[in-house]
Chain A
């Protein structure tokens, strides 16, 4: 796989894990009084592990440039996803 495809795959996996963590975050649910009945099952440790696993894999493969790009991209994308106030979606 090329550096670009590895980066894209790693970022997509981590972003999905971040979105899972976002939707299962208890403080967010409490603060915005979201419907707990519709909440996903909570596996926080697994969520965090999946979020970080692609980065570890890139490091293990020696893909340093893809790893750095993943670090930068995931922090910005995660921020943009989390910064959307639930009220915006209603």
Chain B
């Protein structure tokens, strides 16, 4: 039964369709890059054939941090952030807070890159955080993550754009629920083969119906992440803190209860990390130390979710005494409903709450959302065969639909070819641009052909199959060595690429269900028309 009358339903369908046509391809770009970005950590490990250390925070960091602290200006000891990159290199950023050349609040200080294993200083860079050289080991996973977060557009335009995509997806999900009169009744009806139009409609509705709850969830959390930083927090700062963003951050993050500038000896950081690992059963993914060398100094050890928990946890230690202070809420200093809701946003959007298992499930949910977007666009084109814009869109859909994944394989190729002796940061970006440009050229060549999906799919399949081979050819480790060194995740990504590539090549030769049905038997027409 419909939730609205027929006239409203018609208007809503028109808005659902046109908003999809105008912004659907853009939404698809955000969704498909997000799907790939779920595995950014694993892709980072794959791109360099596995990290050089499995437990970067179990190295003797304490002595090295003390030594480095003596080499930086005292003002930069206000905050220290410590985290590993894809190769296990530890990045240590001693910094204070300032305003960068663009007039925006930014961290400024000295960043050290410490080699995994030896902890020797591999690089030392000084300046504003946003202006420091990009980390070459994490160039590929960082590129993919930023492509999803802001499309590499300047801040905050990129966040506005991805937030807009989130709103489009939210609207599409809600209007889809209202429009689909037989949501439950049609939940078990497979796509019918009696006509291409009906088949496309059924495919879109079936995928949309099953992925509705998660489509809403991913869109809502994604919109929150885009707009919270770009619009929400500045508004909160303006309304509640008189425009003082630093004061607002202190309140939201939860400034220490006691402040003391009195100098103090720092307790052993390695011991705190070891205790935190024993407490949570996981390595921290990020450590920050506030007020190094002062009596009020605190260490914050951030652990990803483990076991039954869905939320990540931040464990606080007193740096002067080494005493454990407990778990700090994500927002404020005391547990609250708002902090719990906020803590759930990340796991629900990134799907990292149960390790690789949940990430793979989230990848499949992302693929389902991408499929819904593309089938919706194809349905719109199929319904308007005589419209000139329909013909243009008919070429644009496979161009973008397969072009973005082809661009991503281009980025990976660019990284692999430039990592051994070149500049992988630029190589990754150029690889993506070349991959996308190739897709545009291919679309230009095939524009008279009509639906060029099979050709695009074959190109994508070949590119995916080529990636593991290029990784090996450019000095990457083989499978036995990787498994022996505990880097099975690299083998998994290789296998995913090979399986995906072979599947795409197979599908490009096989054609869609309607083509197969037309070639095969006449039984497909046994299905009754749409109701």
Give the interface of A toward B (CB within 8 A).
3-4, 7, 21-22, 25, 27-28, 30-33, 62-66, 68-69, 71-73, 75-76, 78-79, 82-88, 90
Closest beta carbon of chain B to A26's beta carbon, Å: 9
- Contact among A22, A68, A76 for B353, CB-based, below 8 A: A68
Given A62-B308, A83-B191, A87-B524, list of 18 further CB < 8 A pairs? A3-B308, A22-B188, A25-B188, A28-B190, A31-B192, A31-B527, A33-B528, A65-B354, A66-B354, A68-B347, A68-B348, A69-B353, A72-B214, A75-B210, A75-B213, A85-B191, A87-B517, A87-B527
Q: In the complex the two chains form, is A78's CB within 8 Å of B210's CB?
A: yes
Cα A76 to Cα B358 with chains together (Å)? 13
Cα A45 to Cα B347 with chains together (Å)? 33
Q: In the complex the two chains form, is A65's CB within 8 Å of B309's CB?
A: yes
Can you list the 8 inter-chain pairs with the closest CB atoms, starting with the nearest?
A: A79-B210, A25-B188, A72-B361, A85-B190, A65-B354, A76-B364, A64-B310, A65-B353
Closest to A62 in B: B308
Q: Is B125 an interface residue (CB 8 A)?
A: no
Cα A62 to Cα B358 with chains together (Å)? 17
Q: In the complex the two chains form, is B190's CB within 8 Å of A86's CB?
A: yes
Give the interface of B toward A (CB within 8 A).
185-193, 203, 206-207, 210-211, 213-214, 305, 307-310, 347-348, 351, 353-354, 357-358, 361-362, 364-365, 368, 513, 517, 521, 523-524, 526-528
Closest beta carbon of chain B to A48's beta carbon, Å: 10
Closest beta carbon of chain B to A68's beta carbon, Å: 6
Whether A3 contacts B354 in the complex (CB less than 8 A), given A64-B308, A68-B310, A76-B361, comes out as: yes
- A-B interface contact total, Cβ < 8 Å: 113
| Sample (11) of A-B pairs whose CB atoms are under 8 Å apart | A7-B354, A31-B189, A33-B528, A65-B305, A69-B354, A73-B364, A76-B365, A76-B368, A83-B203, A85-B191, A87-B527
Whether A75 contacts B365 in the complex (CB less than 8 A), given A69-B354, A90-B521, A90-B523, comes out as: yes
Q: In the complex the two chains form, is A79's CB within 8 Å of B207's CB?
A: yes
Cα A78 to Cα B211 with chains together (Å)? 10
Cα A85 to Cα B526 with chains together (Å)? 12
Cα A85 to Cα B308 with chains together (Å)? 38
Whether A79 contacts B206 in the complex (CB less than 8 A), given A33-B526, A85-B190, A87-B524, comes out as: yes
- Contact among A7, A22, A72, A87 for B523, CB-based, below 8 A: A87
Closest beta carbon of chain B to A29's beta carbon, Å: 10
Closest beta carbon of chain B to A71's beta carbon, Å: 7
Closest beta carbon of chain B to A37's beta carbon, Å: 17
Whether A66 contacts B190 in the complex (CB less than 8 A), given A76-B361, A79-B210, comes out as: no
Q: In the complex the two chains form, is A85's CB within 8 Å of B193's CB?
A: yes
Cα A86 to Cα B308 with chains together (Å)? 39
Closest beta carbon of chain A to B369's beta carbon, Å: 11
Cα A86 to Cα B521 with chains together (Å)? 13
Q: In the complex the two chains form, is A69's CB within 8 Å of B188's CB?
A: no
Closest to A23 in B: B188
Cα A38 to Cα B76 with chains together (Å)? 76
Q: In the complex the two chains form, is A25's CB within 8 Å of B189's CB?
A: yes
- Contact among B185, B190, B353 for A82, CB-based, below 8 A: B190
Q: In the complex the two chains form, is A83's CB within 8 Å of B365's CB?
A: no
Closest to A77 in B: B364
| Complex interface: chain B residues within 8 A of A30 (CB) | 528
Cα A72 to Cα B34 with chains together (Å)? 16
Q: In the complex the two chains form, is A82's CB within 8 Å of B206's CB?
A: yes
Q: In the complex the two chains form, is B308's CB within 8 Å of A27's CB?
A: no
Closest beta carbon of chain A to B303's beta carbon, Å: 14
Cα A65 to Cα B306 with chains together (Å)? 9
Cα A21 to Cα B184 with chains together (Å)? 12
Closest beta carbon of chain B to A18's beta carbon, Å: 8
Cα A33 to Cα B523 with chains together (Å)? 10
| Complex interface: chain B residues within 8 A of A75 (CB) | 210-211, 213-214, 365, 368
| Complex interface: chain A residues within 8 A of B185 (CB) | 27
Cα A28 to Cα B191 with chains together (Å)? 10
